[in-house]
Structure 1
């Protein structure tokens, strides 16, 4: 199974699965974008083995390009893990303070955001497609962590995962104007006069949101792999029947 581990230490393990021609459905990890759910289950079980956990340690959400988030507890273990219908509904970000829970986010061009707090052990994932970005889901999650969970945002590390590149993310004026209205994304967009299309760097826009929220710039890392251009990537823009990557993070038990 092809995966990237962004981090693996005594406290946390985090990474993303990759497109893999040797795996069922090219290593597709999502029930909502599969041909055969059994193929997804096989891929997830293989991932769980590599992470040293069980298939029901995963927690998944039914992603709707919302700005909604959910605090995961051990009672949520297994939701969406083996049956898609049990996923946490209408939610695009998950976080938890509990160990041995694999938080999951599914993408095929959208921006996955993986984060962890070195001090209190809080971890989380965010699915930020362009709709989530203009709804400022990342900003809202970190404002919540600061005000409700009493986190110091300078204690966070963030990994922005592979996504559609600025070169391949071309849009019409309606989407451009939504990014323009944010007031801080102008430097991450350009207009191609030959095609009449605008190009947007969604990853850097999300990074800006993190910085404006209070996360330190030098603690934010971006995987600049383009899901459209890379053989390792699933791209919905390239193929509407594409599978999905699973970006994950787990806090390890200290026992």
Structure 2
């Protein structure tokens, strides 16, 4: 795959190579569905505790990935994702949140960031867009979960504004990666969703959606998020976008659109 920023590291995960080129002190990537212990329909590296898989098996999968990454599970931080735009700064004190028990996750939060070392931020996916944020000069890392609701809720721009406002990080210091998610040709939405999209987009060379039939549209969530990030000052050259489609790559990824009862991949980022 030409110019793909998410590079296969082993069977368990892809690495955000441009971030690692910025600094060897960051680990960032996206898990695959391979090399785990879950059985169908969650086969095999399901990392979600909320999808009716066996919790013990999911925890075994998480421990397997922790071993592959070289970061102990008790250093991970999960949030309870609710398709909103709440963002929280976390620290070492939040480590282990949601790692063994779903209800112990950081509550009602779809964006996490930290400048603490040895904290692995984690977020779960099965078609939505994973957004990764990194300001190497300021030792800040972040993740945001952006389905259509989070996207029109401007969770990506909100993360940037948290950093530029509360953390005093200049916008030009921020790098963003947009990870594997469902592609436009496989993501059909209705006019209700598109009307929400229309309210947040501004003038760009082309629209992130197109009408395919009456009241049906294909929506490019990656492009929508890219445009929204550029609107708050992230330069295009500071944004890398994965070509991977979670719906199409059945060997690598789970997809809720393809099969509702399924597992979850995990985005992750941390400083080591």
TM range (shorter): over 0.9
In 1, distance between residues paired with 2:266 and 2:255? 13
Aligned to 1:3: 13
Matched, 1:205 2:218: no
TM-score (normalised: structure 2): 0.88
* 1:119-134 map, 5 Å: 119-134=137-152
- Kept in 2, the 8 Å contact 1:79–1:86? The answer is yes
Query: Pairwise mapping of residues 64-79 of structure 1 onto structure 2 (< 5 A)?
Result: 64-79=82-97
Q: Per-residue deviation at 1:22?
A: 5.6
Residue 151 of structure 1: aligned partner: 169
Per the normalisation by structure 1, the TM-score is: 0.94
Q: Which residue in 1 is equivalent to 2:59?
A: 41
Moved over 3 A (4+): none
Contact kept, 8 Å, 2:126 with 2:263, in 1: the verdict is: yes
The gaps in structure 2 that reach 5 residues or longer are: 1-10
Tell me, what secondary structure is at the counterpart of 1:5?
strand
SS at match of 2:240: strand
- The answer to whether 1:215 aligns with 2:226 is no
Q: Determine the C-alpha separation between the residues in 2 that align with 1:208 and 1:3.
A: 27
Match of 1:182 in 2: 200
Aligned partner of 1:108 in structure 2 is 126
Matched, 1:15 2:29: yes
How far the C-alpha of 1:156 sits from its partner, in A, is 1.4
Give distance in 1, aligned partners of 2:91 and 2:136.
Answer: 19
Q: Which moved more, 1:149-158 or 1:85-94?
A: 149-158
Aligned match of 1:169: 187
Cα offset for 1:172? 1.0
Which digits, 9 at most, give the CA deviation of each residue in 1:138-157, with x for residues without a partner?
A: 11121111111101121111
Aligned partner (choices 259, 266, 270) of residue 239 of structure 1: 259
- Tell me which of 227, 230, 235 is aligned to 2:249: 230
Which of 72, 75, 99 does residue 117 from structure 2 map onto?
Answer: 99
Separation in structure 1 between the aligned mates of residue 84 and residue 215 of structure 2, nearest angstrom: 29
- Over aligned residues, Cα RMSD in angstroms? 1.5
